[in-house]
Structure 1
Amino acid sequence: MYQSFILALLRNPRQMGAVFPSGQSLARAMATAANPSGKRILEIGPGTGAITEALLAEGASREQLCLLERDDKLAAYLTGKFPDIRVVNGDARAIATSIQPNADATFDIVISSLPLLNLKAVDKITILEQIFAMLGHQGLLIQYTYSAKAPISPLLANRFGVKGERAAIIFRNLPPASVWKYSYPRNDDLQH
């Protein structure tokens, strides 16, 4: 697993969001924030599958889980590791065409390991537009970051009509990480 990650890092260091694969503490925190049981989940940038394994341990259904990995070697690795889970080798900037949802196919949760703070603004906006379109108004985006600031700026969150909250800080990860949850405000949130 670690070897697959290192090879992907060496092939394209700018594409990888970290210099180490996600630690177990971070993977568990992402899965806990997702509460994945019975939900349709898209995981973007699963890498070697640490968060995927945590999602499965937390009750995610293999039939309702889809992995989108840009690196062809990692996508092949994931296909071998999770033969009963849909793995799509594609770019997050073209999620809609890579996943090819039908008109009513939405996800309940998108789990993202993308390095959002390192992306060009145009790429970040393109990706987020597609994510929030696929989520619908009941959906949840779970994103982690190694930065002290939010992975989606308040201005950008406002543009998409979502609100973000830090769900966890994982000090036992290398480097320490924060898990953020983004969702559309519910009616009871608007009344306060």
Structure 2
Amino acid sequence: MNQPFVLALLRNPRQIGAVVPSGQSLARAMASAAAPTGKRILEIGPGTGAITNALLAEGASREQLCLLERDDKLAAYLTAKFPDVRVINGDARSIADVLKPQASACFDIVISSLPLLNVKEVDKIRILEQIFSTLDQRGILVQYTYSAKAPISPSLANRFGVRGERTAMVFRNLPPATVWKYSYPNGYDFRN
């Protein structure tokens, strides 16, 4: 198994939120849902870079890709693995702060591997506020979950004015996962 992943899991199992790294099938499903070619992308919780690799294979530009990893050892690992991709060691609860001075820059896509269903409600709301504040009005959030239920509850989706759709069920992943895509209907922006 991937040594950087195992060490991160041992350091903080609740933060990692998985027992194994994302599989290739899940990574490809996430990248496919994102359609990353020519898009400004923020990947949150990239771990060891399985989804990052899939995004790059699907046409994501290294110059327009930014990785936000909370675990400092995984951030260092990602920096070495992807030397031409911007890697930030920071927390998803304060995305705007860690992206400064480029805080006004919007992303077209946010790819999230955060275990949203395991996060305290107050932290989940803070994270979603941060994510949706960095997205362009036509932007999308791609999120996966191991649960049968949506990673963002209908009430929270309504609060942020987004609609979710299940784009893939990945049975060839351990554990099986579901990919969801969230977007604003008709250019709605919760910031207004």
TM-score bracket relative to the smaller structure:
over 0.9
Q: What is the identity percentage for the equivalent residue pairs of Structure 1 and Structure 2?
A: 80
Which amino acid in the other structure matches residue 95 of structure 2?
I
Q: How many residues are paired up?
A: 187
Distance in 2, Cα, partners of 1:102 & 1:45: 19
Hey, what does 1:14 align to over in structure 2? 14
Hey, what does 1:143 align to over in structure 2? 143
Distance in 1, Cα, partners of 2:93 & 2:103: 19
Distance in 1, Cα, partners of 2:152 & 2:104: 26
1:186, distance to aligned residue in structure 2 (A): 2.1
Hey, what does 1:36 align to over in structure 2? 36
Deviations 1:23-45 (A, max 9, x none): 00000000000000000000000
Aligned CA-pair RMSD? 1.1
Runs of at least 4 residues of structure 1 off by over 2 A?
Answer: 101-104
Q: 1:154-165 to 2 correspondence within 5 Å?
A: 154-165=154-165
1:102, distance to aligned residue in structure 2 (A): 3.5
Structure 1 SS opposite 2:125: helix
Hey, what does 1:123 align to over in structure 2? 123
Unaligned segments of structure 1, at least 5 residues: 188-192
Structure 2 SS opposite 1:125: helix
Distance in 1, Cα, partners of 2:145 & 2:101: 28
Structure 2 SS opposite 1:137: strand
Which amino acid in the other structure matches residue 18 of structure 1?
A
Structure 1 SS opposite 2:138: coil
Structure 2 SS opposite 1:32: helix
1:101, distance to aligned residue in structure 2 (A): 5.2
Distance in 2, Cα, partners of 1:101 & 1:159: 28
Structure 2 SS opposite 1:136: strand
Structure 2 SS opposite 1:15: helix
Distance in 1, Cα, partners of 2:45 & 2:54: 15
Structure 2 SS opposite 1:60: coil
Deviations 1:96-137 (A, max 9, x none): 101125464100000000000000000000010011011031
Q: TM-score, normalised by structure 2?
A: 0.95
Q: TM-score, normalised by structure 1?
A: 0.95
Hey, what does 1:88 align to over in structure 2? 88
Distance in 1, Cα, partners of 2:172 & 2:103: 41
Which amino acid in the other structure matches residue 115 of structure 1?
P
Unaligned segments of structure 2, at least 5 residues: 188-192
Contact kept, 8 Å, 2:97 with 2:103, in 1: the verdict is no
Which amino acid in the other structure matches residue 171 of structure 1?
F
Which amino acid in the other structure matches residue 81 of structure 1?
K
Which amino acid in the other structure matches residue 35 of structure 2?
N
Hey, what does 2:47 align to over in structure 1? 47
Q: Tell me, yes or no, if structure 1 residue 76 matches structure 2 residue 86.
A: no
Distance in 2, Cα, partners of 1:103 & 1:123: 20
Distance in 1, Cα, partners of 2:93 & 2:162: 20
Per the alignment, do residues 104 and 71 of structure 1 end up closer, same or farther by CA in structure 2, a change over 3 Å counting? Answer: closer
Q: Tell me, yes or no, if structure 1 residue 24 matches structure 2 residue 24.
A: yes
Contact kept, 8 Å, 2:43 with 2:110, in 1: the verdict is yes
